[in-house]
């Protein structure tokens, strides 16, 4: 069984229409993967930055996986929420990235999107602060068709991650 350490930081977000954001993240891995140490999910604080160009979270990620297969390589799924002036959290973006399989440090940028509805539903959601969300967030990272889903492009979530691998070479895996 091979082992993967994922150590990194959820640095922050940029290019969102509002910069008062928080992030809910989780790491999803396939069936052959076993979480040995660490938390595979978390929620960051809400950051209201002075400089609205970059929201800073600096949220730590430290996970240790054991695996029986290369398939189902861990993916980082993020959900960005915006805190409005009434203190409500509104969905602002979904995004995902595969954790790089090459050992070493990586700087990743996760593009995000949010589902949109018809014009009238959008109007009501902007008034009542009820943004459309996915019923099943697996859609975000599952390689399946997404037609019939309309989305709006949102900003970028920045992640810095270091990957440490163990024992893969014994199974003939080249990274």
Partner 1 sequence: MFDATQQSQHATTFYRTIDRVENFKITIKLRKIADANVPLNDEFLGLDEGAIALAKKRRRLLLPKPEATVISWGERIFSPSEILRHHNHQPGKGSPLAAKYHALVEQLIAQPNSEESRIIAAGTTKGARRQIFTLTDADAYASQKAFTTSTREVLVPRENPASAMRRPALLRKRNRVIGEEDIITTSPVPRTQKCGWEEMHIMAYLDVEQTGSSKENVSEQSHYDAGFHICLCSIQAYDSGLVAITPGLNTGKKPHRIAIGQNVYEYTLKNASAPITEEDVESEWSIFQELYRQKRSALENILTMTFTSLPASKHIRFHITGQISWAERFRSKTLYIRQCLMVPLESWNIDENTTPAQAMMSTTQVSRARDSHGVWRATFGFPLEWVLLRRDKSTERPALYLTVCSVDLWNRHRLEGYGYFNIPEEEGRHSMTINTWRPLGSLMARVREYFIGGSTELEDLRYINMSNGHGQKVSSMHGLSVESSGAIRLTLNVVKQAEAYQVKPVTGKESHAHFAKGDIKAISDALARARARVKALQAGRKAE
How far from each other are the two terminal CA atoms of the chain, in whole angstroms? Answer: 16
Distances (CA, A) of 5 to 1, 111, 113, 164: 13, 24, 28, 5
| Cβ at position 65, least distance to partner 1 in Å | 10
Restricting to residues 4-63, which ones interact with partner 1 according to CB under 8 A?
Answer: 15, 32, 34, 36
Residue count, binding to partner 1 (CB under 8 A)? 52
| Cβ at position 123, least distance to partner 1 in Å | 16
* Helix H or strand E encompassing 125: helix 119-128
CA 1 from centroid of its chain's CA atoms: 27
Distances (CA, A) of 28 to 11, 20, 31, 96, 122: 19, 26, 10, 10, 30
CB 113 within 8 A of CB 151: yes
Q: Which of 66, 137, 160, 162 binds partner 1 (CB under 8 A)?
A: 66
Of 46 and 70, which CB lies nearer to partner 1 in the complex structure? 70
Sole window of 19-27, 83-91, 124-132, 135-143 interacting with partner 1 (rule: CB under 8 A): 135-143
CB 41 within 8 A of CB 32: no
Q: Which of 13, 91, 154, 159 binds partner 1 (CB under 8 A)?
A: 154
CB 77 within 8 A of CB 28: yes
Q: Which of 69, 125, 137, 162 binds partner 1 (CB under 8 A)?
A: 69
Restricting to residues 76-115, which ones interact with partner 1 according to CB under 8 A?
Answer: 94-98, 100-102, 106, 109-113
Half-sphere exposure of 3 (CA within 13 A, CB side): 7
| Cβ at position 28, least distance to partner 1 in Å | 11
| Cβ at position 169, least distance to partner 1 in Å | 4
Q: Give the binding site for partner 1 (CB under 8 A).
A: 1-3, 15, 32, 34, 36, 66-71, 73, 75, 94-98, 100-102, 106, 109-113, 116, 140-147, 149-155, 169-175
């Amino acid at each position: 069984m091979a082992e993967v350490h994922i150590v990194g930081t959820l640095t922050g977000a940029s290019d969102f229409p509002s910069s008062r954001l928080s992030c809910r993240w989780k790491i999803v891995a396939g069936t052959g993967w076993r979480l040995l140490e660490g938390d595979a999910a978390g929620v960051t604080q809400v950051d209201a930055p002075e400089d609205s160009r970059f929201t800073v979270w600096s949220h730590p990620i430290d996970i240790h996986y054991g695996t029986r297969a290369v398939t189902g390589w861990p993916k980082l799924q993020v959900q960005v929420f915006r805190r409005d002036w009434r203190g409500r959290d509104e969905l602002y973006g979904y995004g995902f990235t595969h954790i790089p399989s090459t050992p070493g440090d990586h700087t990743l940028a996760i593009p995000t999107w949010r589902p949109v509805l018809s014009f009238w539903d959008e109007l009501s959601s902007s008034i009542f602060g009820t943004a459309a969300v996915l019923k099943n967030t697996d859609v975000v990272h599952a390689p399946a068709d997404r037609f019939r889903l309309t989305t709006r492009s949102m900003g970028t979530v920045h992640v810095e991650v270091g990957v440490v691998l163990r024992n893969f070479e014994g199974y003939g895996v080249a990274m």
